Structure 1
Amino acid sequence: MTPHHPHGLNHDLDTLARQIRERRSALRWLAAGACASLAPLSLVACGGGGDDESEDAVSAASGGSCSTIPRETAGPYPADGTTASNQRLNALTLSGIVRSDIRSSIGGASGTAPGVPLTVTLNLVNTSDSCNSLEGYAVYLWHCTRDGGYSMYSSGYTGENFLRGVQVSDANGQVSFSTIFPGCYSGRWPHIHFEIYPSLSAATGSDSVGDHLTVSQLALPASVCNQVYGVASGYSSSVRNFANISLASDNVFGNDSAAQQLASVSGSVTQGFVATLEVGVAA
């Protein structure tokens, strides 16, 4: 065991903050697991957090542990240099792909994806090292438009590359993206894809195809999806598609513990939403 060294007040405060995040994440996993077992209509009531006292009571039993996020398919539209949908496209080599705001296209394309504003924040923790934050890791994140299309692949969007971007985790293991709330297309629960790389060069290098540590997906809570799809313009097809899917029937989340992938979301249609997910990686 590494001997303890005094690092000062800032270190202690950072450690305390991380422990609080871990405890709250444990509660979200437990609550989300219960929601996932309910019928689709019941899921509408799931997605909000409880009070602080409840969080501390539940998380006290967790022991401050974290779990490795399930590994998932990158899907048919990754644009990560691998062959998918009979094409080998690579957004990771585009100039400007390292960015926090992914709503507009780059590299000569000029489109902007419309939709309800959404900030996605991922907190990377090392499941092989006491859940300590992972600094300097690159995250490639992508998702569909409000009507279910994917840039670079879908009809009408082949000339665009928006809703794709890379960020490098800070000292707290955090990356953040400004984007739009994705739509729900037929057969899939509303989700966001991401790949994690050990460094920026591993993510964006021309010879780095397949060098990611893991690939997974973030699930959005039913209550928030219903808010967006039932009110915001441009999401009309999502209403019907969302009514015919559940976490349990989804061919990705239904095969794993969706509780580890279900984001905590706050906000409103008028002000925008913030989605947060702790991502455990065995680094």
Structure 2
Amino acid sequence: MERKSFLKSLMIGAVTSSIVAEACQKDSIATSTSSSGSTTTGGTSVINGSCSVAPTETEGPFPTKSPASYVRSDITDGRTGYKLAVNIFLVNSNNSCNALPGALVDIWHCDAQGNYSEYGGSGLQSTNYTSVHFLRGRQTTDSNGAVAFTSIFPGWYSGRATHIHVHVYNSSGTSLKVTQIAFPEGSGTAVAAVNGYSKGLSGYTYNASDNVFGDGYALELATVTGNTTDGFVLNITFAVPA
């Protein structure tokens, strides 16, 4: 394990603290706030033309090795599970929180069994999927700052709540934000309906205890609707500085 620090910025000062980082631990948080006239869209508060910047998270131990090679909207790539439509909307925190067109958005997540493609055969993941590339993809935001992916509902693995990784670049390929998507939990939610697929939820790590989301996940929490028969739809808005 390595020791990392994260910074929580407020209008009146900053407090720095250290936490012990594990495989998918939070790196840092950066937010901007205002005091009145707020609205909320897909997890991001827009306050009189300002908005809270999405927290910065680690890419984790399983980032996509060649993301430019997987420009596609359907990232299922043969993996079975409940259908999930992923809709991500980006706004520019440096431009009055207007939509951010032309940004590159990479996403990746584990399969129903909790395994990642492009990795495996080691202590982190015993199943070897080094030669396949399922559940990874890249799209470019449209004029509304939107991208859409077709995937499956992620499974889970020890130490982590259900999540999706997101990496945002500008059109020139400069990294703007690495973050993660959290899922609502509890009775009546999609997480409860999926019930961990064949693994169930015994031993599941919930958001509040997750080593990424445990210090706060309000700006990363998606809206998820649907059911196991028709599939699920995920919507989230992230504010990023561009």
TM-score range, shorter chain: 0.7 to 0.9
Aligned residues: 196
Contact 2:44 2:51 in 1 (8 A): no
Structure 2 equivalent of residue 282 of structure 1: 241
Once the two structures are superposed, residues 184-230 of structure 1 have per-residue CA deviations (whole angstroms, 9 ceiling, x without a partner) of: 1111010000100101x52xxxxxxxx41110000011121011116
Contact 1:152 1:159 in 2 (8 A): yes
CA contact (8 A) 1:141 1:193 kept: yes
In the TM superposition, residue 122 of structure 1 has moved relative to its aligned partner by 0.7
1:272 matched to 2:228? The reply is no
Contact 1:91 1:161 in 2 (8 A): no
- Cα displacement (A) at 1:173: 0.2
Matching of residues 180-259 of structure 1 within 5 Å: 180-199=152-171, 202=173, 211-222=174-185, 223-229=189-195, 235-242=197-204, 245-255=205-215, 257-259=216-218
Aligned twin of 2:4: none
Report the AA paired with residue 101 of structure 1.
D
Aligned-pair CA distance for 1:91: 2.8
Distance 1:238 1:186, change over 3 A: farther
Aligned partner of residue 207 in structure 2, secondary structure: coil
Contact 1:124 1:278 in 2 (8 A): yes
User: TM-score, normalised to structure 1's length?
Assistant: 0.65
Deviation at 1:171, TM superposition (A): 0.2
Is this contact kept in 1: 2:106–2:168, CA < 8 A?
A: yes
- Name the CA distance, whole Å, in 1 between partners of 2:58 and 2:51: 22
Which amino acid counterpart does residue 167 of structure 1 have in structure 2? Q
Q: CA deviation at 1:279?
A: 0.5
C-alpha distance in 2 between matches for 1:138 and 1:171: 13
- Residue by residue over 1:38-78, the C-alpha shift from the partner in whole angstroms, topping out at 9 and shown as x without a partner, is xxxxxxxxxxxxxxxxxxxxx8xx44642100000000000
The 5 Å alignment of 1:92-107 reads: 92-94=67-69, 97-104=70-77
1:68 to 53, 56, 60: 53
Report if aligned partners of 2:68, 2:138 keep a CA contact under 8 Å in 1: no
Query: How far apart, CA to CA, are the structure 2 residues paired with 1:214 and 1:171?
Result: 19
* Two-structure CA RMSD over aligned residues (Å): 1.9
Please state how far the C-alpha of 1:29 moved relative to its aligned partner: 6.3
Contact 1:185 1:237 in 2 (8 A): no
Query: How far 1:129 moved relative to its partner?
Result: 1.1
> What secondary structure is seen at the aligned counterpart in 2 of 1:188?
coil
Structure that is richer in helix per residue = 1
In 1: Cα distance, 2:217 partner to 2:99 partner: 22
Go from structure 1 to structure 2 and tell me whether the alpha carbon gap of 1:189 and 1:118 turns closer, same or farther (over 3 Å shift).
Answer: same
Aligned-partner SS, 1:146: coil
Say whether the 8 Å CA contact 1:184–1:241 is kept in structure 2: no
Query: What SS is found at the alignment partner of 2:201?
Result: helix
Distance 2:41 2:67 in 1: 30
Q: Secondary structure at the match of 1:75?
A: coil
Whichever residue aligns with residue 178 of structure 1, its letter is T
Q: Is the 8 A contact 1:124 1:279 kept in 2?
A: yes
**What is the TM-score when the length of structure 2 is the normalising length?**
0.76
- Structure 2: how far apart are the matches of 1:24 and 1:277? 11
User: What CA deviation, in whole Å up to 9, does each residue of 1:250-275 have, x standing for no partner?
Assistant: 100113x3010000111111000110
Give yes or no for the alignment of 1:117 onto 2:83: yes
Please list every run of 5 or more consecutive structure 2 residues that lacks an aligned counterpart in the other structure.
1-37, 121-126
**Partner residue in 2 for 1:3:** none
- Alignment partner, residue 109 of structure 1: none
Q: Would you say 1:91 and 2:90 are equivalent positions?
A: no
CA contact (8 A) 1:183 1:238 kept: no
Q: Which has the larger radius of gyration?
A: 1
SS at match of 2:106: strand
What's the % identity of the aligned pairs? 44
Runs of 4+ displaced beyond 4 Å: none
